[in-house]
A and B are shown apart, each in its own frame.
Chain A
Amino acid sequence: MKNFMLIFIGEDYADLNFSPEEMQRRMNSWKEWTEELVNSGIFVDGQGLLKNAKTLKSGPEDVHDGPYLDIKETVGGYYVVKVEDMDAAVEVAKNFPDFDLGSSVEVRECMPDEAG
């Protein structure tokens, strides 16, 4: 079994002007997905990220506001899941609840702690 990081990339929720009701519906689908991962023992860790961000570009003095300089998309959060291989991780990512918002998931294999 290996760890994979699912990185959630998309427009920030704050810019999507959801109504409270839509927000709650969205939360319910996220809860459902997460609970499924937890119950099947796949879920290792995860966190949502706040909107405020800084990027250090080319040196300690070069600090910019925001995650990237010119695109709207940001990393909204990540999950770490423990599965057999990349294919299985991609299967997990297929149920990501925010595809309808044009958001995407980047699946990355985590480097193992020790050799072998």
Chain B
Amino acid sequence: MKQGNTNEIVEHLFRHESGHIISRLSARYGMVHLSEIEDAVSEALIRALKTWSIKDVPESPAAWLYSVASRILIDVLRRKQLYFEKVSPQYKLNNQTESKSEDEYATIKLMLWCAHPDLNSKDQLGLMLQLVSGFSIKEISSALLMSNESTKKRLQRARAKLKKLESQLLLPNISDVEDRFPILRSAIYLGFNEGYYSVSHNNILREDLIFESLRLAHLLCSTPHSDRPISQALMGLMLYHTSRIPARRSMDNTLILLEDQDRSLWDRKMIMIANEYMEKAMTSNYYTPYHIEAIIAGIHTQTKDYESTNWKTIAALYGRLTEVQNSPIIKLNYCFALLKSLQIHKAIEVIAHITPDSLGIHKYLYYAVCSNLEKERDNVDQQKLMLWKAVDSAPNDATRKILKERLLRIESVKN
């Protein structure tokens, strides 16, 4: 036994390798054995835990985990006699023909398997987090704000459905399911948003979800089939948002709004990486919603303080976005940017087309924007009333606190 920390394990190794190994084994032995594969991977991790805490960590921990997991799996399949009777005729046990490239894309294939068009987006994301990202049911339910039980049931149902829908035993060929890449991108973006805008108090989990989404999007960008401007724009968009994380929360963990953020805390290095992705993304002649959202996020990161924000350009970009996406939250952002660039009439026109209830838990934002609108019209009473409504519909204490502070500010200006 060696002394000291000569063999530290890479952070998140277990999480990432579990998804990777599940992908490789399911590409090799077929999705029919998914639950056996998951058990084998989990057993391999337990063996690693018990061995590596006493003895040296092997030179290549990832290879160790893969070979142990596949040995356990083969044992189980043999014991169950499943292998030789049903699977073996189709797929050889010592399948030496498995090419490197096939294996390289196993994770993407598993992601595409999860992104089945007949599943709803939360189930696609949930399955992906479970299989590709190695999140536990507990973590998924907390990330997606669902109860443990319902997450478990949903995922079981989704898997049963996929088993029925996917007649083939193996993971899909990428070229056969290329039409699923858009679904995959939106599942990744959904995961990112759940992490970024979540009201959950679990900071670690929230950040895990954000960085996991970045990892998956990065994977998309490094696979020839999906290394397209649209994927790069998604990556750029998420990176711009992520760069602001260090400035988004105060010491006592309350959310800090864009206008109050200390911009020197924004992660410059990450912004540069995002810029590089955007350079590639902009080679396309066609700008997708991801492009436009990324450009907006990029403008904020390139502006030295809130006051110098170019709201006119941002409003124009949101305007374009509303043409292609009928989302109430985008309309609301559009309205906000219009107000900021003093296009009041246009703003009134836009907000008239939003029903507050369509915003769900973001309903408070509607009232906050209404309050801004009243401010521009010098209607202090209405401005306060709307802010009170926003306070009433705030989804959590942190938001309520911010809104109340704003109310106090109005009061103090008046007196």
Tally chain B residues at the interface, Cβ within 8 Å: 30
Pairwise interchain contact A27-B48, C-beta atoms closer than 8 A: yes
Main secondary structure of the interface of B (DSSP, over half): helix
B53 within 8 A of A: yes
Q: Which residues of B contact A103 (CB under 8 A)?
A: none
B54 within 8 A of A: yes
Pairwise interchain contact B54-A46, C-beta atoms closer than 8 A: yes
B46 within 8 A of A: yes
A61 to B176, CA, bound (A): 57
B112 within 8 A of A: no
* The one of B3, B18, B54 that contacts A47, using a Cβ cutoff of 8 Å: B54
- Type the 1/0 row for A10-48, where 1 means its CB is closer than 8 Å to any CB of B: 000110011111111011101101110011000100111
A50 to B48, CA, bound (A): 11
Tally chain A residues at the interface, Cβ within 8 Å: 29
Residue of A nearest to B138 (CB): A19
Q: Which residues of A contact B139 (CB under 8 A)?
A: 19, 21
Q: A28 CB to closest chain B CB, in angstroms?
A: 7
B9 within 8 A of A: yes
Pairwise interchain contact A20-B43, C-beta atoms closer than 8 A: no
Q: Which residues of A contact B134 (CB under 8 A)?
A: 19-21
Q: Which of A38-65 contact B (CB under 8 A)?
A: 38-39, 43, 46-51
Pairwise interchain contact A27-B136, C-beta atoms closer than 8 A: no
Q: Which residues of B contact A51 (CB under 8 A)?
A: 43
A47 to B137, CA, bound (A): 30
Q: A86 CB to closest chain B CB, in angstroms?
A: 23
Given contacts A18-B136, A39-B4, is CB(A24)–CB(B54) below 8 Å? no
Q: Which one of A20, A23, A48 has the greatest number of beta carbons of chain B within 10 Å?
A: A20
Residue of B nearest to A19 (CB): B136
- Type the 1/0 row for B1-45, where 1 means its CB is closer than 8 Å to any CB of A: 101110001001111011000000000000000000000001101
A13 to B42, CA, bound (A): 10
Pairwise interchain contact B1-A27, C-beta atoms closer than 8 A: no
Pairwise interchain contact A27-B9, C-beta atoms closer than 8 A: yes
* The one of A13, A19, A38, A47 that contacts B49, using a Cβ cutoff of 8 Å: A13
A interface residues, Cβ below 8 angstroms from B = 13-14, 17-24, 26-28, 30-31, 33-35, 38-39, 43, 46-51, 76-77
B interface residues, Cβ below 8 angstroms from A = 1, 3-5, 9, 12-15, 17-18, 42-43, 45-54, 134-139, 208
A–B Cβ pairs within 8 angstroms, 14 of them: A13-B46, A14-B43, A17-B137, A18-B42, A19-B139, A20-B45, A20-B134, A21-B15, A22-B136, A27-B49, A31-B53, A35-B5, A39-B4, A49-B50
